[in-house]
Structure 1
Amino acid sequence: MSDQKKKLFSPFVKQCFVTATVCMNVLSNGAAYGFPAILLPQLKQPDSPIPISKSEESWIAAVVTIAMLVGNFSMPIFMEKLGRKKAHFMVMLPTVIGWFLIIFATSVQNLIIARIMHGLSLGQIVMIRAVIIGEYTSPKNRGAFLTLISLAQTSGVFVVHLMGSLLKWQTTAAISVVFTVLSFMMTFFLPESPSWLANNGKYEECQKHFEWLRGADENEELKELIQARMKHNASKNVDIKAALKQLDFYKPIIVSLHISLIMFFAGTITVAVYGTTIIAEIMGPDVDAHFWLLCLDSVRIVTSFLAVYLVRTFRRRTVTFGSVGLCLLVHILIITHVTLIKFGVRIFDYFWIPAILMNLQCFSLSAGLLPINNVITGEIFPLAHRSVGISITTTVATGFHFIVLKTFPYLLSEVGIAGVYGIYATVMTYGLIVTWVIMPETKGRTLQQIENRFKGVKGTAPELESLNNNNKA
């Protein structure tokens, strides 16, 4: 790229473009995730071109989770063998195939295959979205950029629900595929990840791409990165068993898994999937559950913008434990309110009390838990174990996802909504204690500094004279 173009586009603008490219893809995946909410009601209409049974309905909704596991296991291979850029292209192929299968679907089988394609992409994008943004962006802006992932996903769900309320499901799918096509075109202009290049011994290319993304003001991080990779690559005979025992391998996995555990049991998935049921249980059967669900969706979108400011301004631990603490308090207050009403204590029997509590729950999720999960995933995994670590975490987190969705109806019928919130609060408390003890502060630190923190290394000396001399020659 010429010097004139370098001056025209600042490093910040380039990093914004990288984030926009990834988030456009995430938005399409968010639309795919929320698509059954508008597809299934239309398929159950008397004039539906594809009538469905109860069994077929459940398969269309649930097959995504199974396909996500395949995506979790396949993405590490793509990321390590092909690089981040080519892997991002790979992620979008099943998404596009899925949308076109839906557009031209003539049977339930077509729809199920389409949902499998979407599930495969959803499992893959969870890994690569945080890796790309985490590796391409500056430490001072990295947290804010990673926070935009949750905003993009929430916006995708909202957009598809909005379109589905006005348009037929085929038209909604045709519009949704445009987001993926845009992301595909934008990906052509991305450089390769400097971290991946360094990890594969391409140090000169690493330096070139790093300076294109970051400018000349962050050379210290470049020196740390290349020196660490030179040292790592010099030792080719890696003891796998020894690697599994290293702090920088298992400790980030433990941190990320417990953040995911808290996130799922805090209500991120249950409110999205069983929202109308939860609202009726907490606020009473006489309220308009669909109206209040739209209100909660609106709160989540608005709060996602606020989360960008919070993550950029405050420490990671402050945002994490502040949002978890608020969510736990809301859980306890909801349990108290429902229990009092159940036993006939009508002093606080006002519909606005549970309404405020549920809005506070969504606020705590969107302001802290959802974005911080993406931030932590993009920051704490060391380069040598990044793909494997995120794959393990994502796979287990998908299990959390399945367990929460599968058990909610049964728990509700056995212990009631107060009991469900009590169980969830207990799991969250456990996750909070573990995270409090082992989660490090990562705000403002380079990825290499975070990696060194897990290894117990206090500092890294800059040693790049040989590389610099080669570049000058």
Structure 2
Amino acid sequence: MLLLVNNVAGLIVARFIQGVAMGMLGPLGSIIIGEMTDPKNRGMFLTSVSLSLTIGVLFSHALGTYFTWQQSALICSFTTFTSLCLMIFTPESPSWLITKGRYEEARTVFFWLRGNSEEQQVELEKMIIAQKMSRKSSVADQKLSIQARLKRYFKYISEAGKKPEFFKPVIIMVFLYTMFQFAGINVISSYAIDIIGHVVGPEANAKFLMVVLDIERLICNLLAVYLMKTLKRRTLLFSSTFICIISYLGKAFYVYAKQKDILPYDSQWIPISLIGLYMFSLTVGISSIPFAVSGELFPLEYRGLGGGVSYLALSLNFFVAVKCFPMLTTAVGLSITYLLYTGMVVFCMTIVWFMLPETKDKTLQEIEDSFRGFSPEDAKSAEPLNGVNGGGEMMRRCSSHILY
């Protein structure tokens, strides 16, 4: 559609349709990766979400240097079409199959993806048992009328908002995505040339430095894949956020001192180094962790709803952070704008510090149980025994309050 429009209204409609598609597809990547991968390697695979975004930004900026925006749109459409063709041959995730009661198919896909070790078998059986208990009340929904289903769905949303395994991950993701956007990853992507011109100076080669920043972002994203495997999620997130705050403050004070002509020494390498440090902190942790934990925090029962709500927060903060930046720089100046954005990052980081659990090397079921308040001993008491009952179902221990 972008290729055919020749006016502003058509361009807005085309972008609106793209936005709707992004809203529908956005949460799925992290959710599917989280459901399909082993806990030991899940962080690395989830980091590929931010890595793919980085590659897309670099690719788009490179295309924009040599082609018109219509030609760039045509080239990008081929990339999207190729991804669609590949997804057709991708199996449904085991977790989704379990929610539909297709247990044998879920076992086949799960063992094809993860192998058939004893550890994997135990994890799968835990998911099946937990889902069987939650499906008892939902099987009857298939016989209800459309009006009754809608009424029951709104009741489902209302009840979900009261459950800690739903509202706690939602709160965490809302503040994580807010911190992610006000840290400025999309701001610097949208206004890179203007920011470089203001911070480094009008004599700087802004287009060249923009491409250099994109390359740095790609390298740091590759580094983030390794760090996600070796470091804890909280360690990586809060250390990178601290570096981001320092670089934000450094840029704010540098711009202020330069405007007031009170710098004892000045060189282009000072602002370039600050921007480089800033991009490093954004890419290594702040832009990687939210997409990683978004595929880990939500329980299976509310994964779609939770992902949709949190992605709505991401989109709203995207809009506010990007649209407010030029207005604030015009109204109060770049240095004050940086300080305001720094304040938002500090506020969100404080909330996340107290709420975000460590998820590295934990199964999705263990993370879900932790939000429900179940201890490892409670979860252990619900593990299947080595046998089946007369109805062909797995036997379970009966000493836990989670069996009902």
User: What TM-score do the two structures reach when normalised by structure 2?
Assistant: 0.87
Structure 2 distance, partners of 1:169, 1:411, is 28
C-alpha distance in 2, partners of 1:467/1:278?
67
Deviations 1:208-233 (A, max 9, x none): 22111111121121011111101111
Q: Which moved more, 1:151-160 or 1:438-447?
A: 151-160
2:123 maps to what in 1?
A: 221
Structure (1 or 2) with the greater helix fraction: 1
Long gaps (5+) in structure 1:
1-100
* 1:431 positional shift: 0.7
231, 234, 257: which one pairs with 2:174? 257
Alignment of 1:28-427 (within 5 A): 101-105=1-5, 107-217=7-117, 218-236=120-138, 240=156, 241-427=158-344
Residue 159 of structure 1, CA deviation: 1.2
For 2:223 and 2:339, the matched residues in 1 are separated by 28
Whether the aligned pair in 1 keeps the contact of 2:224 and 2:288 (CA below 8 Å) is: yes
Q: Summarize deviations over 1:161-198 as a string: whole Å, max 9, x none.
A: 21232234443333222222222222232211111111
Task: Specify the alignment match of 1:58 in structure 2.
Answer: none
CA deviation profile, 1:124-181 (whole Å, cap 9, x unmatched): 2211111111111111111111101111111112112212322344433332222222
Distance 1:104 1:341 in 2: 46
* More divergent stretch after superposition (384-393 vs 179-188): 179-188
2:333 is matched by which residue type in structure 1?
Answer: G
Separation (CA, whole Å) in 1 of partners of 2:292 and 2:320:
24
Identity percentage of aligned residues: 34
How far apart, CA to CA, are the structure 1 residues paired with 2:273 and 2:282? 14
CA distance in 2, matches of 1:258, 1:387: 19
| One-letter identity of the residue aligned with 2:384 | E
**Structure of greater relative contact order (alpha carbons < 8 Å, 6+ residues apart):** 2
Determine the C-alpha separation between the residues in 2 that align with 1:362 and 1:467.
Answer: 58
TM-score by length of 1: 0.74
1:420-435 pair list within 5 angstroms: 420-435=337-352
Q: For the structure 1 residues 107 and 430, does the alpha-carbon distance in structure 2 shift closer, same or farther, using more than 3 Å as the test?
A: closer
- For residues 441 and 348 of structure 1, what CA distance do their matches in structure 2 show? 44
Structure 2 residues without counterparts, runs of 5 or longer: 141-151, 395-404
Per-residue CA deviation, residues 88-133 of structure 1 (Å, 9 max, x unaligned), is: xxxxxxxxxxxxx233445555433332222222212211111111
Per-residue CA deviations over 1:277-331 (Å, capped at 9, x if unaligned) read 2112212222222222222111111111111001111000011001101000111
Are 1:335 and 1:422, in contact at CA under 8 Å, matched by a contact in 2?
A: yes
Secondary structure of the residue aligned to 2:204 is coil
Residues 457-466 or 308-317, more deviating: 457-466
Choose 340-349 or 433-442, whichever is displaced more: 340-349
Classify 1:265/1:108 alpha carbon distance in 2 versus 1 (closer, same or farther; 3 Å).
closer
Q: 1:357-413: per-residue Cα shift (whole Å, max 9, x none)? A: 001111111111111111011110111111111111111221111111221122112
CA distance in 2, matches of 1:343, 1:103: 47
Name the SS of the counterpart of 2:288 in structure 1.
helix
Give the aligned residue type for 1:357.
Answer: L
Q: Output the amino acid matched with 2:216.
A: V
Secondary structure in 2 aligned to 1:103? coil
Cα distance between partner residues in 1 of 2:210 and 2:330 = 21
Aligned to 1:14: none
1:204 and 1:467 in contact (8 A); partners too? no
* 3-state SS of 1:359 partner: helix
Asked if the contact 2:61/2:211 (under 8 Å) is kept, the reply is no
Q: Is the 8 A contact 1:337 1:348 kept in 2?
A: no
Cα deviation for residue 416 of structure 1 reads 1.0
